[in-house]
Chains A and B, each alone.
Chain A
Amino acid sequence: DVKVTQSSRYLVKRTGEKVFLECVQDMDHENMFWYRQDPGLGLRLIYFSYDVKMKEKGDIPEGYSVSREKKERFSLILESASTNQTSMYLCASTRQGHWLGYGYTFGSGTRLTVV
């Protein structure tokens, strides 16, 4: 089974800190995604990448950036963390292809608290 691993389950950071959230997948998937999950809002797409060094903005990219230097790793960066970025962050991956229906495989999430 494909595995998507997020390096931290829980993080507590201070306002203004630079924060890195790491995600690694082991099935050679081309596409990787970062979502944040908030109660009542569901999952909202922050950024996605369909190839190494490629990135596309999702629906809520403000305050975030990403890095994809290797195919298996997709990093989410909070340049200067703020309290409104306290949330659950979910990474996902899927293989490339125009045939629909693979869905995504998700990591277990990183719960970030910014104080």
Chain B
Amino acid sequence: GQQLNQSPQSMFIQEGEDVSMNCTSSSIFNTWLWYKQDPGEGPVLLIALYKAGELTSNGRLTAQFGITRKDSFLNISASIPSDVGIYFCAGQVIIQGAQKLVFGQGTRLTINP
């Protein structure tokens, strides 16, 4: 089946630094999504990307849908302590009428104050 390769798997940064993570796939996806999971909680949707080449911002977050539709990146500017968590990329496909998400392995972000 489809697979997403997400990197890096973990990041240790200082508060205030910028963060960048990305996902690549051998398959084409029609939608890319980025989720964040706080400790002890389920993932929450941060950004959704619908068009190849699209660049979308949500506050300090910026994400892009690669032009080939096989990759996406997420940037976080000026990191703060509440950015700690696991970030997942996901590609969306339709199977038998159901929206199915394929997830990356996750990037665990740790911030030193």
Contact = CB atoms under 8 A, between A and B. Distances in A.
A34 to B, nearest CB: 12
A22 to B, nearest CB: 15
Contacts of B102: 45
B9 A40 contact: yes
A108 B38 CA distance: 10
Contacts, number: 79
Interface string A96-115: 11101111111111000000
A94 B94 CA distance: 12
Contacts of A74: none
Interface string A7-33: 001000000000000000000000101
Closest A-B pairs by Cβ, 3 of them: A106-B42, A50-B98, A43-B103
A101 to B, nearest CB: 5
Query: How big is the A interface, by class?
Result: 20 to 34
B97 A101 contact: no
Contact of B106 (A42, A94, A98, A103): A42
Contact of B97 (A45, A98, A103): A98
A50 B97 contact: yes
Interface of A: 4, 9, 31, 33, 35, 40-45, 48, 50, 56, 59, 90, 92, 94, 96-98, 100-109
Interface string B32-61: 010100001111110010100000000000
Contact of A109 (B41, B90, B105): B41
A66 to B, nearest CB: 14
Interface in B62-112: 88, 90, 92, 94-106
A107 to B, nearest CB: 5
